[in-house]
């Protein structure tokens, strides 16, 4: 990538345009889901540990497919890749605003911690803004355990989201767990705790956490009556 002609930079890094997130004072950071084609022609996997979740990913449907939305998510990713130090400083500057004090940042409405350096940058950001809460769903269990688990920032929460190729590393004795169920009724029947009333219940409420699958017909047909975790185990056995 030509260092002298960087891609356009986003005007704002964090968004709370989702009505339910705004109600709970949650802002989100988003990059492309699963993978992104870069201007160089190369493809970067933004969710390296994705498994069956890739076949029913809400962030690859609906409004996420709009051209302007896809362009905004790619713009975010390119900022991280082309100017990681500039992106980190811009994120810190934005988070210094008074509105974030006592608020919440969901890291990745789409995408995941795709590299060690990117993950470590987020840890520095979180530690530098102790008056804001940060949380993330991730399928990068190995990266979490190597870089975060031994000394997580006290203002952070990490949720291991089932349905990825590293599900076998998830330990309910050590990890906060979330799984995607076909219905709310199935969540209750399994003894999981629903997060339907607020996204904050996944990182801060009782665990394990269940969420009902999005109402997307083709994804519901693929998932059937199993959870993402069950679906992944079936796939791993095959």
Q: What is the pLDDT of residue 5?
A: 65
Other beta carbons within 10 Å of 190: 12
Q: What is the pLDDT of residue 221?
A: 93
Cβ–Cβ < 8 Å for 40, 77: no
Q: What 3 state SS string does 31-75 have? A: CCCCEEECCCCCEEECCCCECHHHHHCHHHCHHHHCHHHHHHHHH
CA dist 207 and 190 (Å) reads 12
- CA dist list (Å): 79 to 21, 153, 172: 24, 24, 35
* CA 65 centroid distance within chain: 17
Query: In the chain, what are the domain boundaries?
Result: 19-237
Averaged over successive runs of 10 residues, the pLDDT of the chain (238 residues) comes to 68 88 94 96 97 93 90 97 98 98 97 98 98 98 98 98 98 96 97 96 96 92 96 95
214: its two tokens: 């999005």
- CA dist list (Å): 214 to 7, 160, 187, 196: 33, 19, 14, 11
CA-nearest of 147, 179, 173 to 160 is 179
Q: What is the pLDDT of residue 4?
A: 47
Q: What is the pLDDT of residue 1?
A: 44
């Amino acid at each position: 990538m030509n260092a002298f002609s960087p891609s356009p930079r986003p005007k704002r890094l964090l968004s709370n345009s989702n009505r339910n997130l705004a109600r709970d004072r949650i802002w989100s950071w988003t990059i492309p889901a699963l993978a992104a084609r870069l201007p160089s022609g190369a493809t970067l996997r933004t969710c390296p540990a994705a498994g069956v979740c890739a076949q029913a990913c809400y962030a690859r449907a609906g409004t996420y497919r709009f051209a302007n939305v896809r362009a905004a998510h790619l713009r975010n990713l390119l900022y991280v890749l082309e100017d990681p130090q500039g992106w980190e400083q811009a994120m810190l500057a934005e988070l210094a605003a008074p509105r974030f004090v006592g608020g919440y940042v969901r890291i990745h409405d789409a995408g995941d911690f795709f590299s060690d350096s990117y993950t470590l940058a987020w840890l520095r950001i979180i530690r530098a803004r102790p008056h804001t809460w940060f949380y993330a769903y991730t399928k990068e269990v190995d990266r979490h355990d190597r870089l975060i688990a031994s000394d997580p920032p006290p203002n952070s929460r990490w949720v291991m989201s089932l349905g990825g190729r590293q599900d076998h590393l998830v330990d309910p004795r050590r990890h906060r767990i979330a799984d995607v169920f076909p219905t709310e009724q199935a969540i209750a029947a399994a003894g999981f705790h629903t997060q339907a009333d607020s996204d904050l219940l996944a990182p801060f409420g009782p665990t394990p956490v269940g969420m009902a699958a999005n109402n997307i017909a083709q994804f519901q047909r693929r998932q059937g009556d199993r959870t993402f975790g069950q679906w992944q185990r079936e796939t791993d056995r095959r």
